[in-house]
Amino acid sequence: MSAHSTKNDYLPSLIKTSAISAKRYATILTMLLGESSLKSVLHAIVRLIEEKNFGSKSSILLLSSDGKRLLKAAAPSISDSYNNAINGIEIGPKVGSCGAAAFLGQRVIVEDIASHENWAPYRELPLSVGLKSCWSEPILSGEGEVLGSFAMYYEEVKAPRAEDLALISEAALLASLAIERDRSSRFQRLCGGIFNQMPLALLITDAKGTVLDANPSFFDIMHSAKTDLAAFEPHCVFEQSSIELAHLFEQIRSGNAWHGELIGRRADDESFYADVNVTVFKESEDIEYSYAWIFSDITDKKSAAETIHYQAKFDPLTQLVNRPHLFEKIEQQINMSKLNPYACFSFILMDLDNFKQINDSLGHKLGDEVLIQVAERIKACMGKNDVLGRLGGDEFALIIPDEVCPEVLSKLVQQLNQVISQEYLLDSHQRVFTRLSAGISRFPQDACSLEQLLNCADQALFCAKEQGRNQFHFFNDQMQSDAERTAKLTNALKLAIENDAFELHYQPIVCAKQHKIRHVEALVRWRHDGRLVRPDEFIPAAEASGLIIELGRWVRVEAMKTLLEFEALGLDIGISINVSTFEFWSHDLQDCLINSITETATKILPEGFPFHKLTLEITESLLMKEQVHLINSLSQLRELGIKIAIDDFGTGYSSLSYLSEFPVDIIKIDKSFIRDVNDKKQAALVSAVVALSRALNLDVTVEGVESHLQLAFVSEKEVDSIQGYFFHKPLEKTALLEVITKH
């Protein structure tokens, strides 16, 4: 028999021509089917063979688990000295009969131990106990793997007959059955032990969820009793809304294993973190898959890890989800939609209207208190699955993961507006009010990516703020096209700054009495696409993009150089420069502004710049800002000799009180006040402003004088200076110089 033939190949023929009597066979088979130990079955086999072949002494050796040595198993008739001597012998192609048979997987017949080369190194061992011949048969498993060897010894030099060989084969086969039975029952015992004792829950179900088996740990972890378990509903055991669960089913239904973390729910409704492995298997005759769910309760491990990760994911002040984590949640929602084409959700971006003022006036500690209360109030209005996050500062965001119609969203935001605008009572017993503006974007109607979604909500929020705050807005396509236009404009402006595409025009301002040009206002123009673009079209975009800082600096350098040209020509004419509110946005920017002016001055005229001929025009809205630093900055400018004018006076927050507090020199009454000279109310207002300015020792300029009637009107009001198309339009520098010299 070859080493590679299997048991199944020779079993039928063997039984037909069995050399062993049926009775003896039955004895062995009964032992095999019963509980008898491997050792006793192998003993019985040896005894059986010895009885059958009188005079023979049999031995069974087993191959060690590393497959290198033979270990004694059953040889009751052979002397212990011999058995012990060969126990553990290393197998090899020429190691006696058994070592060679086990090594080669082939029968090895040695008729005369004394003369056979295989026995040369060891022959004294058998010969000393009277053994002279040895026939050995490898014991092979069903798969043809060598398990050990069966040997028959004789105390004489002897060759086997055909029936002897058949007997050896049968003995080896029986030994193989015994060894394999022992192995598999040991394996089963092992599996059973593992199943019952492992600290992981193990549950086996068919495709319909019918429980085929569950181990004790499963019931321990689930806090449930065996009787409760008929069918396994993963949707009840693991949290349904979890994205992972959807992914899990997709995987296992297509026959793939799954591993991940889920939030479990025990029988008593307590939740826990589970590390879950699902193995998918199919017996050859099955049509559907069966599943083995193995999971462990990792709540403790997780909560330790969570404390560490908490800071990374949550805002320490409000305990809300922080910006990166909220973005992650949005990404998760977007990913989920890949599994469900009908998935949709809404995103609400919220911003408190006057929070900066609260912070500035009450301090950060009380500001924080307000934020905590705001978070609580929003939470009280939220749905179970909604996610609220704080993006930073006074910016909050809400993800509404379910399909919600616009009407319901509107109601929700209205409710939020209402609860947020109620009074806040702080620890210090101070009472404050704040209000909410919100922008809403929806997936997938408005946007399909995180970035776009944020962008859309941002644009909607911007609109809400523009329209007077305490409002909310849904994103719409108009906003998108506006945003695209602004983006284009911003890009073009960036290039314009690099390419020096701006120029300054100057509009003369005349004195009210003699109508002489005493001053000009520098007005920026953009040479773009072959036309001159007016500032109203691009200043807002420059402000929104921050490019205004660079543009403002350019305007000032240009205007200051022109002022020096006037000086050089002996002209006594001052220049007004418009400064955007954005350049006063922060303390740093204010410092930058002052530095840029002084630096330019020292650069272009180190021996002393005529600052007294320079006016900076700022708008009223600026004066609503935090005061101390601003007053300081304006004072610094005035100390240089620069004058400060309030532009477009009367159009902003018309609180007159600031006029006395701020270091201001000139008021420019906005052109809207003289549009209709017959409007008595307007006339009264202009008179009042002039009177007030006189009292505060401020100069008054009126803008927008276009007609005789308007000129007559303002002349009557005794203003100091007049600006308007009636006298001059804004002019290029050369045209301006011509006009001045003609004058």
Q: Tokens in use for 619?
A: 């708008």
- Find the shortest distance in angstroms from Cβ 611 to ligand C2E: 18
Of 72-80, 113-121, 410-418, 699-707: span binding ligand C2E (CB under 6 A): 699-707
- Find the shortest distance in angstroms from Cβ 417 to ligand C2E: 33
Q: Which does 463 bind (CB under 5 to 8 A by kind): ligand C2E, Ca ion, none?
A: none
Residue placing its CB nearer to Ca ion in the complex, 294 or 698: 698
Torsion angle of C-alpha atoms 40, 46, 47, 48, degrees rounded to 10? 110
Sheet order of strands, 201-205 included? 211-214, 201-205, 290-297, 271-281, 258-265
Q: Which residues in the 80-119 window bind Ca ion by CB under 5 A?
A: none
Q: Tokens in use for 303?
A: 């909560």
Residue pointed to by tokens 């199944």:
8
**For ligand C2E, which residue of 116, 647, 669, 736 counts as binding (CB under 6 A)?**
647
Per DSSP, what are the bridge partners of residue 419?
none
Residue placing its CB nearer to Ca ion in the complex, 459 or 578: 578
Number of residues near Ca ion (by CB under 5 A): 5
- Find the shortest distance in angstroms from Cβ 733 to Ca ion: 18
List, in sequence order, every beta strand (DSSP E) within 512-658.
517-528, 531-533, 574-578, 614-619, 643-649
- Find the shortest distance in angstroms from Cβ 670 to Ca ion: 6
Does 182 help bind ligand C2E (rule: CB under 6 A)?
no
- Find the shortest distance in angstroms from Cβ 541 to ligand C2E: 12
CA of 728: how far to CAs of 158, 502, 516, 710, in Å?
138, 21, 11, 14
- Find the shortest distance in angstroms from Cβ 539 to ligand C2E: 5
CA triple 404-408-411, angle to 5 deg? 145
- Tell me: cis bond preceding 444? Omega within 30 of 0 counts: yes
**Rounded Cα distance, 264 and 276, in Å:** 10
- Find the shortest distance in angstroms from Cβ 720 to Ca ion: 15
Does 725 help bind ligand C2E (rule: CB under 6 A)?
yes
**For ligand C2E, which residue of 536, 588, 608, 697 counts as binding (CB under 6 A)?**
536
CB neighbour list of residue 690: distance below 8 Å, 6 or more residues apart: 700, 717, 718, 719
Does 523 help bind ligand C2E (rule: CB under 6 A)?
yes
Of 240-248, 409-417, 560-568, 703-711: span binding ligand C2E (CB under 6 A): 703-711
**Rounded Cα distance, 381 and 384, in Å:** 10
CA of 569: how far to CAs of 238, 321, 498, 576, 607, in Å?
86, 65, 31, 18, 18
**Rounded Cα distance, 371 and 352, in Å:** 9
Contact 275, 298 (CB under 8 A): yes
What count of other Cβ atoms lies within 10 Å of the Cβ of residue 438? 28
- Find the shortest distance in angstroms from Cβ 520 to Ca ion: 11
Contact 698, 488 (CB under 8 A): no
- Find the shortest distance in angstroms from Cβ 534 to ligand C2E: 4
Q: Tokens in use for 349?
A: 């971006």
- Find the shortest distance in angstroms from Cβ 557 to ligand C2E: 11
Q: Which does 368 bind (CB under 5 to 8 A by kind): Ca ion, ligand C2E, none?
A: none
**For ligand C2E, which residue of 132, 724, 731, 740 counts as binding (CB under 6 A)?**
724
CB neighbour list of residue 46: distance below 8 Å, 6 or more residues apart: 58, 59, 60, 74, 75, 76, 77
Residue placing its CB nearer to ligand C2E in the complex, 47 or 671: 671
Q: Which residues in the 475-514 window bind ligand C2E by CB under 6 A?
A: 507
- Find the shortest distance in angstroms from Cβ 334 to ligand C2E: 41
List, in sequence order, every beta strand (DSSP E) within 342-426.
345-352, 387-392, 395-400, 424-425
Of 136-144, 242-250, 348-356, 722-730: span binding ligand C2E (CB under 6 A): 722-730
State whether the Cα torsion 22-27-33-37 is positive or negative: negative
- Find the shortest distance in angstroms from Cβ 551 to ligand C2E: 7
Does 578 help bind Ca ion (rule: CB under 5 A)?
yes
Residue placing its CB nearer to ligand C2E in the complex, 185 or 654: 654
Does 648 help bind ligand C2E (rule: CB under 6 A)?
yes
Residue pointed to by tokens 């500032």:
535
Q: Which does 536 bind (CB under 5 to 8 A by kind): Ca ion, ligand C2E, none?
A: ligand C2E
**Rounded Cα distance, 419 and 721, in Å:** 51
Residue placing its CB nearer to ligand C2E in the complex, 148 or 508: 508
Does 583 help bind Ca ion (rule: CB under 5 A)?
no
Report the Cα–Cα distance between both ends of the chain, in Å, rounded.
128
**For ligand C2E, which residue of 524, 549, 618, 740 counts as binding (CB under 6 A)?**
524
Residue placing its CB nearer to ligand C2E in the complex, 146 or 597: 597
Tell me the helix, strand and coil percentages in the chain, rounded to 5: 45, 20, 30
- Find the shortest distance in angstroms from Cβ 732 to ligand C2E: 13
Contact 565, 525 (CB under 8 A): no
Of 106-114, 285-293, 299-307, 720-728: span binding ligand C2E (CB under 6 A): 720-728
Residue placing its CB nearer to ligand C2E in the complex, 450 or 547: 547
What count of other Cβ atoms lies within 10 Å of the Cβ of residue 490? 16
Per DSSP, what are the bridge partners of residue 643?
615
DSSP letters for 305-321: HHHHHHHHHB-TTT--B
At 625, give phi and psi (nearest 5°). Answer: -75, 175
Q: Which residues in the 596-625 window bind Ca ion by CB under 5 A?
A: 617
**For Ca ion, which residue of 164, 583, 620, 647 counts as binding (CB under 5 A)?**
647
Q: Which residues in the 573-632 window bind ligand C2E by CB under 6 A?
A: 578-580, 617
**Rounded Cα distance, 671 and 702, in Å:** 7
**Rounded Cα distance, 372 and 315, in Å:** 11
Per DSSP, what are the bridge partners of residue 442?
346
Does 723 help bind Ca ion (rule: CB under 5 A)?
no
Residue placing its CB nearer to Ca ion in the complex, 446 or 647: 647
**Rounded Cα distance, 417 and 352, in Å:** 10
Q: Which does 164 bind (CB under 5 to 8 A by kind): ligand C2E, Ca ion, none?
A: none
The type of residue at 638 is: R
Contact 178, 45 (CB under 8 A): yes
Number of H helices, E strands in the chain: 25, 27
**For ligand C2E, which residue of 112, 155, 368, 706 counts as binding (CB under 6 A)?**
706
**For ligand C2E, which residue of 110, 262, 539, 563 counts as binding (CB under 6 A)?**
539
- Find the shortest distance in angstroms from Cβ 511 to ligand C2E: 16
Q: Which residues in the 671-710 window bind Ca ion by CB under 5 A?
A: 703
Binding mask 336-365 toward ligand C2E (x if CB under 6 A, else -) reads ------------------------------
**For ligand C2E, which residue of 534, 587, 629, 638 counts as binding (CB under 6 A)?**
534
Residue placing its CB nearer to ligand C2E in the complex, 82 or 506: 506
Residue placing its CB nearer to Ca ion in the complex, 60 or 539: 539
Of 283-291, 421-429, 436-444, 718-726: span binding ligand C2E (CB under 6 A): 718-726
- Find the shortest distance in angstroms from Cβ 544 to ligand C2E: 13
Maximum separation of any 2 CA atoms in the chain, in Å: 151
- Find the shortest distance in angstroms from Cβ 558 to Ca ion: 16
Does 648 help bind Ca ion (rule: CB under 5 A)?
yes
Number of residues near ligand C2E (by CB under 6 A): 24
**Rounded Cα distance, 439 and 453, in Å:** 11
Interface residue list for Ca ion (CB under 5 A)? 578, 617, 647-648, 703
Interface residue list for ligand C2E (CB under 6 A)? 507, 523-524, 534-536, 539, 552, 555, 578-580, 617, 647-648, 671, 703-706, 723-725, 730
